Amino acid sequence: MKLVVIGGDAAGMSAASQARKRRGPDDLEIVAFERGHFTSYSACGIPYWIGGAVTGRDALVARTPAEFAEAGIAVRLRHEVVAIDLDRREVTARDLDGGGERREGFDELVYAAGAVPVTPDWARVDAGGVFGVQTLDDGEAIHAWLDGEPRPRRAVVIGGGYVGVEMAEAMVRRGVEVTLLERSPQPMSTVDPDMGERVHRAIRGLGIEVRTNTLVQGLETAGGRVTAVVTPDGTLPADIVVLGLGVRPNTALATESGIPVGVTGGLRTDLQMRVVGPAGRIDGLWAAGDCVQTVHRISGQPVHVPLGTHANKQGRVAGINLGGGYATFPGVIGTAVTKVCELEVARTGLTAKEATASGFEFVTASVESTSRAGYYPGAGTMVVKLVAERRTGVLLGAQIVGREEAAKRIDSLAIAVWNRMTVEEMTALDLGYAPPFAPVWDPVLIAARKATDEVHASR
């Protein structure tokens, strides 16, 4: 049997590794194609590497091609799969360095091509200094540009989501003057506006100029380099432009090969990560990672949530099943965390806007508390916001914005959302207490109490 994997990062190599654990080289040959220079790396760590918090590119690489080779997994770096023939059971891969193409037959195929940055037409300029932040190769290119001559002095980051905010901070730490552009009223639109306003203030506190409700019209270039970003309110000088406009599933190859995609643009799979078409499962075809569509466990709607956590889990599930075991991926609830300097931001489940779009009637409750006992040194403030269904009190979502030790409290809230707990049930949660770690009433419990009051009042 022969397994071919398209994509050598988290999902693809997790699938290959799990399949190899269960089936030896004499039973299963595994070949993985990766268009970049690296395998199994942390794309989420790129802003921290660029900003200097992480030293060295190799710190972000979990396993190298040589390590995979020792495990009996052949990796073809700098090879881009350009065609899939499901009838002939073969892929065509182009050698991006040496030229030419090669065909590789397969019995089983894992499509783990990831996601690609959203790149508007105005960003497609033939000039240096315009970057997405998706791959380790992107990170290397940004590093080289920042270290090159002339040294960039002014950066414009377009997009105020996770990547945009993290890259804006990274640029500040590199001594570059930064302007952040966001088309929405607040940056970090993955949280509700009242929470986003707190993030907005924190970004400004770093010395970053933030312009909201701003659309980009184009880029100006000269001498083969970007020089400015054009907006309706004026032209902003720029020596480097970072695109943080989000990503979309990298499924162009799939659609060209006749493989259908879902409403989000991602590949549809069953619980075992087998690709599903109009007539049901497609024999021998699996998918995992940022190229797939999954289901939100609270709204029940199809969603595309590109996170390394999901990619690793989905790849593991596909690999276990490929190897003859049994595993399922039950969906997501949208848990995510990030930081802006010392401010931590976290969310899980549905925001108020998402709950409305899903048809829920709900109440919200927000409380401000401290990360430790108020008298203990280093206690930082945080705001916890809960969204609970009006009639039942079931927790639909939660958000946290606060100082050190705030964000990871989202994990207990994620468990409550995942298990459909009510906010009243949460008030009795047996959470850990000691003055260095939490006040006697943890912020999660205080928020649950307030949300319970709101639910009772709404009945």
Using the structure block, give the residue that is written with the tokens 């089983």.
Answer: 108
Torsions phi, psi of 279, nearest 5? -100, 10
Strands (E), 323-452: 336-340, 343-349, 362-370, 381-389, 395-402
CB-CB contact of 15 with 315 (8 Å)? yes
Given phi > 0 = left and psi -120 to 50 = alpha, else beta, which region is 115? Answer: beta
Cα 170 to Cα 164: distance, rounded to the nearest angstrom: 10
* Helical H segments across 338-421, by residue range: 352-357, 410-418
Strands 2-6 and 108-111: parallel
Strands (E), 68-223: 73-77, 79-85, 90-95, 101-105, 108-111, 115-117, 130-131, 154-158, 177-181, 209-211, 218-222
What is the layout of strands, in order, in the sheet containing 225-231? 218-222, 225-231, 234-237
| Tokens coding 411 | 């994990």
Cα 454 to Cα 358: distance, rounded to the nearest angstrom: 20
Q: Indicate if 291 belongs to the active site.
A: no
Torsions phi, psi of 84, nearest 5? -125, 125
| Tokens coding 90 | 């073969």
User: Strand, helix or coil at 12?
Assistant: helix
Query: What is the 3-state secondary structure of 292-343?
Result: EEEEECCCCCEECCCCHHHHHHHHHHHHHHHCCCCCCCCCECCCEEEEECCE
Q: Give the count of beta carbons closer than 10 Å to the beta carbon of residue 56.
A: 8
Cα 320 to Cα 332: distance, rounded to the nearest angstrom: 19
Catalytic-labelled residue, pool 22, 29, 37, 44: 44
Torsions phi, psi of 295, nearest 5? -115, 140
Just list the catalytic residues: 44
